[in-house]
Structure 1
Amino acid sequence: MDYTLETSQQKEKLLKTIYSLQLKSFATLQAASPLLSRQRGMGMVTQHQVHQLADKAKSLCGDLDNIKNLLRYCQDDLVQRIPNPTGSCYGGVRGVHCSRDGSIYVTAESAPWVHVLSSTGHMLQALPCQQTGKGGGTFLPEDVTVTHSGMVAVADMVSEAIWVFNPHSGHSKGEWIKIRNVGSPRGIGVDSMEKILVADYAQGQVHSFALDHAFKMLNVHSVPNLQGPRYISPALNGGFVVSEECGDVKVFTNSRKLLCSLSSKYKHHFGNPAGVCVDMDGSILVADEQHRTVHLFPKHGSPICLVSSGLRRPAGMACSSFGHLFVADTGDNCVKVFKYRVRAP
């Protein structure tokens, strides 16, 4: 059968089904509403029938959410490969961040740079990770983020520190400022309140803190009892999402209270969760290093596999407001760009 004809028939059938449900539910509502609001009792309707209908309605609403999500997203749509800006002299790409203007920030294993690229992958700037002053040496950024005011912040696992780049310092090319020592910082992000979020792998904690104009830390807070936290992303509600190496992804509220774990909420089995990000709809995207996949966890509906093949060792991840997903594939030494939305929001 011609694919176009088959697709048209499927569309027509789906539209008819949804339209039939709409008509039937509206007709039932019109008939039942006056009886239930004015008539005493419930006639011959039993408690069992009410429970049965509620369960069926819940299941049907879930099916409709899944259909809506499957229409909205697409799978394995690789649109670009961005080579590691450091070349092959160092390890593979590790961290990736997409700023509001579409610029991409990339770190690589054992490479003392943060590279800033355009949304199409062209080099804009290379920030050498070099300490200033006497005895200054290089440091190795593990992951990277950008504050709302445009400052670059990195997690340095080797030096056990967080660094922030100040472009307005007395040095002509700006300077890196060491903010604090952290046991074993891997992932880094910035929440909606401009607080820096740090996943401390060795101590099993997430640290958050604000910075004043003099780069002094304010309102330091730590969330304990995590199992090997790796990557972290701010959530739309002011909270954050953090991946755990031991096989789960946890969501916290803006008051730093545990909201849920994705494995429990969605009955999803993770292998080795790595990069996480939250898109403009509030959906959570997770890269699984062991399974070599990326799944999207919507607010309503079942998880959706956005990338099912083509990844070797996914690490950091970011998504843009243009409906693109950036995956740092350490095993392939490049950033892979996927179109994951059928249409940009």
Structure 2
Amino acid sequence: MDYTLESSQQKEKLLKTIYALQLKSIATLQTASPLLSHQHGMGMVTQHQVQQLADKAKSLCGDLDNIKNLLHYRQDDLVRQIPNPAGSRYGGVSGIHCSPDGSIYVTAESAPWVHVLSSTGRTLQSLSCRQTGKESNTFLPEDVTVTRAGMVAVADMMNGAVWVFNPHTSLSKGEWIKIRKVGSPRGIAVDSMGKILVADYAQSQVHSFALDHAFKTLNIHSVPNLQGPRYISPAPNGGFVVSEECGDVKVFTSSRKLLCSLSSKYGHQFGNPAGVCVDMEGSIMVADEQHRTVHLFPEHGAPICLVSAGLRRPIGLACSSLGHLFVADAGENCIKVFKYRVRPPYSPTNPGAPCGDPNPTPRRGVGLVPLQPH
């Protein structure tokens, strides 16, 4: 970030502008509030003027949301590259999942492995995707997630199945258990209630189900009429987000009702949306395989391009609570780690509080001074 004199002056100008808006809005409120509360009629204010003010306020609020978002996020801030742990023998990396403890779970195209990595890329464990028992055969995981019980679950598109790795068996290395046959599972995730979510590409559906202690499926539901669902991610409100190969990303509520499509809500045109993830603040991130970009869609404000260059074929996507974005770039057969936030997510103790003192007095270390680097 630039800390030159020009940058400092720009920051000071922005702070003065925000203070001016705050002062004027509070002064107007103090004048208008008692009159509107007690005076009969509207004086000389016309309906047209009220509508004009409402439209300008809406536009200004949108501009302020965009300024706030642009201050919070970074673009093209590549931290490190992690090579495909499966090596170059197989296809490029495809599925990726980031756990709260920072562990990264990775799958690769045509590779019968799930690799567990540290946040810096060191291999912690490698799970061979081979069914044991009478029908010993190898399967290829398309995507990966971790259940609430801490078990690895994968989507096996070739065999039309979902597998869970159970480490608590008589076998010293654990074993894979086929828990459900699915038409053509491509993406997999776990929602906030602990249910497994599966994007069924061929059947154009998303399936959700719970698992009991014996790995039996319970409470099975399906969401139909999707257009080539690829990747899926849970949303903080209990719903989920799913990318469609035909060019859109859809958001569903916890009751599996369509909330919106990102292309309609934000007026954004996707090429070929692939990996999706949702951060702790509810912002949705989407990797666009065709456009070779990653965009963030905030709850309020316009979309932000987090990665505009340096990607060849972005597919899988995951984010951490520390503000890191993990992109599985199949074109370069590696995981690219970006710092997408200026700082870790911040939650105010009282988000509904007033803006503050309308005439702030600069104190030591506070006021219109250049912001300190983080």
Residue matched to 2:156: 156
Check if 1:80 corresponds to 2:80: yes
Residue matched to 1:214: 214
Q: Summarize deviations over 1:308-343 as a string: whole Å, max 9, x none.
A: 000000001000001000000000100000000011
Alpha-carbon distance between aligned partners in 2 of 1:241 and 1:93, rounded to the nearest angstrom: 21
Residue matched to 1:236: 236
Residue matched to 2:129: 129
Alpha-carbon distance between aligned partners in 1 of 2:233 and 2:211, rounded to the nearest angstrom: 18
Residue matched to 2:192: 192
Query: Letter of the aligned partner of 1:179 in structure 2?
Result: I
Query: Letter of the aligned partner of 2:278 in structure 1?
Result: V
Residue matched to 1:95: 95
Residue matched to 1:225: 225
Residue matched to 2:68: 68
SS of equivalent to 1:25: helix
Q: % of aligned pairs identical? A: 84
SS of equivalent to 1:168: coil
Report how far residue 135 of structure 1 moved.
2.5
Query: Letter of the aligned partner of 2:101 in structure 1?
Result: D
Alpha-carbon distance between aligned partners in 1 of 2:135 and 2:157, rounded to the nearest angstrom: 20
5 Å matches for 1:251-330?
251-330=251-330
Alpha-carbon distance between aligned partners in 1 of 2:215 and 2:135, rounded to the nearest angstrom: 21
Residue matched to 1:54: 54
Structure 1 gaps of 5+ residues are none
SS of equivalent to 1:202: coil
SS of equivalent to 2:43: coil
Alpha-carbon distance between aligned partners in 1 of 2:146 and 2:298, rounded to the nearest angstrom: 25
Q: Summarize deviations over 1:198-219 as a string: whole Å, max 9, x none.
A: 0000000000000000000000
Q: Summarize deviations over 1:227-261 as a string: whole Å, max 9, x none.
A: 00000000000000000000000000000000000
Query: Letter of the aligned partner of 1:106 in structure 2?
Result: V
- TM score, norm. by length of structure 1: 0.99
Query: Letter of the aligned partner of 2:7 in structure 1?
Result: T
Check if 1:28 corresponds to 2:28: yes
Query: Letter of the aligned partner of 2:26 in structure 1?
Result: F
Alpha-carbon distance between aligned partners in 1 of 2:134 and 2:112, rounded to the nearest angstrom: 18
Alpha-carbon distance between aligned partners in 2 of 1:107 and 1:169, rounded to the nearest angstrom: 23
Count of residues paired in the alignment: 344
Report how far residue 152 of structure 1 moved.
0.4
Alpha-carbon distance between aligned partners in 2 of 1:13 and 1:204, rounded to the nearest angstrom: 51
Residue matched to 2:366: none
Report how far residue 344 of structure 1 moved.
1.6
Structure 2 gaps of 5+ residues are 346-374
Residue matched to 2:166: 166
Alpha-carbon distance between aligned partners in 2 of 1:337 and 1:328, rounded to the nearest angstrom: 9
SS of equivalent to 1:249: strand
Query: Letter of the aligned partner of 1:230 in structure 2?
Result: R
SS of equivalent to 2:137: coil
Residue matched to 2:333: 333
Residue matched to 2:367: none
Report how far residue 83 of structure 1 moved.
0.2
Check if 1:112 corresponds to 2:106: no
SS of equivalent to 1:91: coil
Q: Summarize deviations over 1:52-105 as a string: whole Å, max 9, x none.
A: 000000000000000000000000000010000011000000000000100000
Report how far residue 149 of structure 1 moved.
1.6
Report how far residue 15 of structure 1 moved.
0.2
Alpha-carbon distance between aligned partners in 2 of 1:167 and 1:309, rounded to the nearest angstrom: 40
Name segments (4+ residues, structure 1) moved above 2 Å. Answer: none
Query: Letter of the aligned partner of 2:39 in structure 1?
Result: Q
Alpha-carbon distance between aligned partners in 2 of 1:91 and 1:124, rounded to the nearest angstrom: 21
Query: Letter of the aligned partner of 1:87 in structure 2?
Result: G
Report how far residue 3 of structure 1 moved.
6.0
Residue matched to 1:246: 246
Residue matched to 1:143: 143
Query: Letter of the aligned partner of 1:243 in structure 2?
Result: S
